Amino acid sequence: MRIHGNIINLKDLNGKKVFLTFYRNVGCPVCNLRFHQLLQLEEQFRAHDIVVLAVYESNTSNLKRYVDGENYYTVMIGNPDFDLYEKYGIERSTIKLLSSIYKGVIGKAERGKKLFKHKFDQDGHANLMGGNF
């Protein structure tokens, strides 16, 4: 489901190229950085007619607040029920989360925090791994 209530069905996108990306929640600074990096590719996605779907485990009100005043090409999908994460096999791993500390996640989190327009509480799983399809 999109944040504005329209149902997204992949069958409706049959024949189109789709980039499906999964994030933790809108309060995650690393995910915020990743999303802003994705935004830098918007012209390329448009030029190649690629539909971009971004799934967050955040509730609709937090997702609406996150996109407040923005008109993103990316279709934002809130999935607090977590069923899309399960369907696509997005894993939760505390071990991988802890190992990310050695891969520069703290610096990424600091950069991501600076990009927030609003302060958000984490409304999801801290050990959720992202995914791209």
Query: Greatest CA separation found in the chain?
Result: 41
Whether 7 is in a domain gets the answer no
**Phi, psi (rounded to 5 degrees) for 72:** -80, 145
For residue 109, the domain's CATH number is 3.40.30.10
Say if CB 95 and CB 63 are below 8 A apart: no
Whether 3 is in a domain gets the answer no
Residue 35 token pair: 């999303």
Whether 93 is in a domain gets the answer yes
Whether 8 is in a domain gets the answer no
Whether 99 is in a domain gets the answer yes
pLDDT at 128 over 60: yes
Whether 57 is in a domain gets the answer yes
Whether 4 is in a domain gets the answer no
CA distance 27 to 126: 10
Contacts of 120 (CB under 8 A, 6+ apart): 25, 26, 27, 62, 65, 66
- The neighbouring-strand residues paired with 21 are 54, 132
pTM here?
A: 0.87
Whether 34 is in a domain gets the answer yes
The average pLDDT across 12-40 equals 94
For position 25, what pLDDT does the model report?
A: 94
Give the Cβ contact number of residue 2 at 10 Å. Answer: 14
Domain of residue 110 covers 13-132
Q: How confident is the model at residue 4 (pLDDT cuts 50, 70, 90)?
A: low
Structural domain total, the chain:
1
